[in-house]
Structure 1
Amino acid sequence: MMDVKEAFDSLARQEGPPSTTNVHRAMAAGRAVRRRRRAAAAATSAVGAAAAVLLAWSVNPWPEPQNSSVAAAPTTAPTAPAPEVTITVTPGAVHKGFTRLRKKYPPMGKIASVPPLLMWVSDAPRKGLLLCESGPNGSTCSSFPPLAKEFARVQGKLRGKAVWFGIANDEVHGVTVVTKDGRKLQANLARNVGPGLGLWAIQFPSGTDVLRLVITDAKGKALQQIPG
C-alpha cells in the first residue's frame, strides 16, 4: 500500500509545474479593469442626464432673456359687444278732423298713406266723387271732375306747407317734380285707391321753385307734363 508521501508526489507530477503568475501584476490589471468599468458607467450616466435635460427643454423651453430696449407688443383689450338697439315704430299722428271726416265721407276703396297725407276717395250724394285728405293743415274733402284726356291732375296745394297733391289714372306709375334749378323730386304715389284712380302727394323742401310735373308710365315713358 502506497504511503502518503508517494501519493502526494504522484499528484504533483500529474498537475504540472507550479504557476508562475505575478501576484502584483494581476492586482494592477484588476484595478485597471475596474477603472474602465467605472468610466463607462459614468459616461452612460452623463449621456442619460443630457438626454433628460434636452427632453425637458423641448417640452418646456427656458424663457429667453428680456431685452429692456425692445418694447413689448401692445395687448388689445377685448371690445365689448354693442348694446342691442330696439327700434319702436310709432304710428303717425292722426290729424285733426280725420275721424269725423272719415265717418261723414266713408272711403269707396281704401285709405292710403301718401306722405305727408292720409287720402281716400268718397262718393257723396249730389256731389259726385270727393277727394279727402288729412294732413298738417287739418282734414278736408272736395269734389273733382273725372279725368278725361288727362292722366293726372294737381287737385290741391297746402299753403305754408309746400305740399301738393292730386289724382292719377291707373296708367300712371310715377309723378316727378322738376325744379327750376334742375332737381328731380319723386312724389309719393298710391295706386288703385279708388275705382280706376291713384292718389299722389309731395312735400317740397323750403324755397323750392317748381318748373313742371312729369307724369310717367310703368316703363318710365312721359305721358303728360303739368306746368308748375
Structure 2
Amino acid sequence: MMDVKEVFDSLARQEGPPSTANVNRAMAAGRALRRRRRAAVAATSAVGVAAAVLVAWPVHPWPERQNSVVAAVPTAPSPTVTITVAPRPVYKGFAELKKKYPPKGKIASVPPLLMWVSDGPRKGELFLCESGPNGGSCSGFPPLTKEFARIQGKLRGKAVWFGIAKDDVHGVTAVTKDGRRLPANLARDVGPGLGLWAIEYLSGTDVLRLVVSDAKGKTLQKIAV
C-alpha cells in the first residue's frame, strides 16, 4: 500500500506540485487514521479478553473461597460406642422344662436362676418354674391372699431361696443374726400380678428372717425362717 506522501509525489509529477501545507495536512491525517486503527484493534482485543473471562468465570467459581470454607469446618471422627449385652444363662434341661411348662408371661433372669410362671394342669392353677445350675423343676402354688410374698423353695445343696411376691413388693431382704442385710434379686410383672425373687448367700450364714418392703421402703411383711 502506498504512503500518502508517495501519492502526492505521483500527482505532482502528473499535474504539478501541490502546496506544502496540503502535503503536511495529509500526512497528519494519515498518522491520525493509523492511531485510530491501533486504538480500535486494542479495544477489540480488550473486549475479547473480557468476554473470555466472563465465559470462563462460572466454570470455577471462587476456588480459593471454596477451599477456605472446607478447611475452616473440619469433620471430627465419630466416636465408636461398644454396647455389651450379657447373655442370659441357659442351664441343662431348660429347653425341655420350658416346652413342658410354657411361660405365662415372661421368663425372668433372677440370679442365680431363670424363673417363670406357667399354667398348671387344673384350671386356674399356676406353677412356678425355676431353672438353675442344679437343674430345674416346676411346682404348683396357692394364690397370695393376705401375704405379700412367700418362700416357694430352696435349691438342693445351695444357700439359695426363691419365691413369689405381689406387684406391690419392691424389695425382699434377708436379715442375718449379726445384723447384715442381704437384698434379693427381684423381677416384677413376670406373671399375672406377680413378681419373682431369689436370694443367694454364703453357706453357714445365719439368716433370721426375710423383710418384704414397698417402693418407699416401708415394711409390708416379715417372714421367719
TM-score (norm 1): 0.60
SS at match of 1:101: helix
**Distance in structure 1 (CA, Å) of the matches to 2:196 and 2:182:** 16
**Distance in structure 2 (CA, Å) of the matches to 1:219 and 1:140:** 34
Residue 225 (structure 1) aligned to one of 212, 222, 225: 222
Residue 136 (structure 2) aligns with = 139
TM-score (norm 2): 0.61
Residue 130 (structure 1) aligns with = 127
Larger CA deviation: 110-119 vs 153-162? 153-162
**Distance in structure 2 (CA, Å) of the matches to 1:87 and 1:194:** 29
**Distance in structure 1 (CA, Å) of the matches to 2:154 and 2:139:** 12
SS at match of 1:100: helix
In structure 2, relative to structure 1, the CA distance for the partners of 1:104 and 1:225 (3 Å cut) is: same
Which structure 2 residues correspond to residues 31-180 of structure 1 after superposition, within 5 A? 91-126=87-122, 128-180=125-177
What is the deviation of 1:88? 6.5
What is the deviation of 1:93? 3.7
What is the deviation of 1:107? 0.5
Name structure 1 gaps, 5 residues minimum. 1-85
Sequence identity (%): 78
Write the deviation string for residues 2-54 of structure 1: whole angstroms up to 9, x where unpaired.
Answer: xxxxxxxxxxxxxxxxxxxxxxxxxxxxxxxxxxxxxxxxxxxxxxxxxxxxx
What is the deviation of 1:126? 1.7
SS at match of 2:98: helix
In structure 2, relative to structure 1, the CA distance for the partners of 1:92 and 1:195 (3 Å cut) is: closer
**Distance in structure 2 (CA, Å) of the matches to 1:88 and 1:193:** 24
The letter for the 1-side match of 2:186 is L
User: Are 2:88 and 2:109, in contact at CA under 8 Å, matched by a contact in 1?
Assistant: no
**Distance in structure 1 (CA, Å) of the matches to 2:151 and 2:98:** 22
- Aligned pairs, number: 143
What is the deviation of 1:91? 2.4
CA RMSD after TM alignment: 1.6
Larger Rg: 1
